[in-house]
Amino acid sequence: MRRHLSATLLRLSKPSLWENLRSLSAEQWLDRRALARLHDLRLTATLRHAVAEVPRYRDFAAGKGLDPAAVSHEHLAEFPLVGKQSMTDEQASFLADDAGADDRLTAETGGSSGVWFGFFFDKRTKEVRRAGDLFGRTWAGWRVGDPMASVWGHRGDVAAVSTARGRAANALLHRTVTLNAYNMDEPTIRDYIGRLTRLRPRIILGYASSLAFFAEYLDRHGAHAIHPVGIISSAETLDPDRRDVIMRQFRCPVLNRYGSREFATIAQQCELMGGLHIFSSRLHVEVLRPDGTACLPGERGEIVVTDLINDVMPFIRYRTGDIGMLAAEACPCGRGLPLLASVEGRVSEIIVGPNGKYYSCQSPRLFGSDIPGISQMQVIQDSIASLEIRIVPSAAWGEASHRLLVERMRGLLGDVAVRIVLTDAIPPAPSGKYRFTISKVSPFERPS
Ligand SMILES: [Zn+2]
């Protein structure tokens, strides 16, 4: 009954949300060629709209001598790459002429790159994105009306639902219980566990570090009454160690989701937990070399995204600052959506050595998190030849651990100066995300 009521509410309150969810669900099973054809049509429509209605792209087409009516998906590579900075500095030139003020919803992103960025999107985009998020949940085993839990680390995410109507929608429509995994005390977490035990969430969503923290907490307290059928880890890199901790506790698949404020979900693992399926119904993803040419499948590069939905402020060839690679193989699940083999984190999280090798934050163990005496660590790259490593030590920390850690770093990176700083705690970034690595040097300006 409750399930039926929730489904009805969803349909009545947001008809396009429901329709979008249905079409995304149907489209995923089209074969790769049919899906690619549909995708090309949408990309062509996006580019034509941009050159017709958006001053920046109108000027671009005029400069190139491109006939707007003849622009197609095949012209994409000729379009300029854009970034947060240029879209901020020249915002007016990226806004479509035909968008009414009522269509313009605003969003903003700040976060790890340090560049504040306000941008616009329309109501259709909002609905399609929400449908995309629900669609991704279905891969973890969630169905409309199912209860769900989330474990975030960001005060803003927790406080976002502040109106009575929002809380009611959350409780009934999405049936979500939310925990802020930072700044919490024993009574808060015990209350949360009690609520989850009663609610029996079908899936749990959260930051990788928050989920791992929560899983460890439950394990330490012998609490094993929460049995989701799937977990979605998002917003942070899901390294194998964290995935193991989470899977050991909950004994269900842990799916990695990759997204951003600008685009919501970009790609997500299906239940087979292999590559991340790109949400290609509403996004086009390229992976590019530092010189701007396309990487081959299996070759690491920067992820660049074109939004196929947002007509108000089209994002065309937007540099995400994230590193990843396309997969050569299709996923055995049979979905026609293309695959990213991996997303290795932000450019600002990639550590590079003077020896030219580079490492993503997916490998805490490789960096020495398994060395005795280290209960938590963070690697900060100040320059190509110097690192600071912050350590929260345990009782086993000593001279031998110090020496092992320095040797480990030099073995990986070459001749690098290592400064070790012992501390009581490593707080999360203002966004609430815990960052294992922080790099202050762009990998695109480094030797390779
Ligand atoms: Zn799959």
Q: Give the domain CATH number at 406.
A: 3.30.300.30
Pairing of strands 148-152, 203-207: parallel
Ligand 1: centre distance to CA 323 (Å):
21
Same domain, yes or no, for 171 and 237? Answer: yes
Ligand 1: centre distance to CA 338 (Å):
9
With 0-12 / 13-18 / 19 or more C-beta atoms within 10 angstroms meaning exposed / middle / buried, residue 271 is middle
pTM, to two decimals: 0.78
Same domain, yes or no, for 363 and 336? Answer: no
Predicted local confidence at residue 255, as pLDDT: 96
As averages over each run of 10 residues, the pLDDT of the chain (448 residues) reads 42 64 92 91 95 96 93 96 88 85 65 61 85 94 89 51 54 64 68 87 87 84 88 83 89 94 93 95 94 94 94 93 91 94 79 77 75 90 91 92 94 92 83 75 53
Same domain, yes or no, for 53 and 78? Answer: yes
Stated length of the chain:
448
Ligand 1: centre distance to CA 268 (Å):
9
Give the helix/strand (H/E) hosting 218.
helix 208-220
Ligand 1: centre distance to CA 230 (Å):
15
Ligand 1: centre distance to CA 335 (Å):
6
Ligand 1: centre distance to CA 269 (Å):
7
Ligand 1: centre distance to CA 337 (Å):
8
Predicted local confidence at residue 114, as pLDDT: 46
Reading the block at residue 41, the tokens are 């049509």
Reading the block at residue 111, the tokens are 């976060």
Establish if 358 belongs to a structural domain. Answer: yes
Domain count of the chain? 3
Same domain, yes or no, for 40 and 83? Answer: yes
Predicted local confidence at residue 2, as pLDDT: 40
Ligand 1: centre distance to CA 278 (Å):
10
H-helix segments, 28-122 = 32-53, 55-64, 84-89
Predicted local confidence at residue 30, as pLDDT: 92
Ligand 1: centre distance to CA 320 (Å):
23
Ligand 1: centre distance to CA 333 (Å):
4
421: CB partners within 8 A, 6+ apart: 388, 389, 390, 391
Ligand 1: centre distance to CA 332 (Å):
6
Predicted local confidence at residue 16, as pLDDT: 78
Predicted local confidence at residue 303, as pLDDT: 95
Q: Distances in Å between the alpha carbon of 85 and those of 81, 82, 90, 115? A: 12, 8, 9, 7
Distance between CA atoms of 50 and 68, rounded to whole angstroms?
Answer: 9
Ligand 1: centre distance to CA 240 (Å):
19
Establish if 177 belongs to a structural domain. Answer: yes
Ligand 1: centre distance to CA 131 (Å):
19
> Which domain does 63 fall in, by range?
1-120+277-347
Same domain, yes or no, for 166 and 234? Answer: yes
Same domain, yes or no, for 310 and 378? Answer: no
Ligand 1: centre distance to CA 267 (Å):
11
Ligand 1: centre distance to CA 136 (Å):
12
Predicted local confidence at residue 190, as pLDDT: 83
Tokens 């079409």 belong to which residue? 23
Predicted local confidence at residue 8, as pLDDT: 44
Same domain, yes or no, for 336 and 410? Answer: no
Amino acid in the structure at residue 192 = Y
Establish if 63 belongs to a structural domain. Answer: yes
Q: Which of 347, 377, 400 is the last residue of a domain?
A: 347
DSSP secondary structure letter of residue 285: E
Predicted local confidence at residue 420, as pLDDT: 95
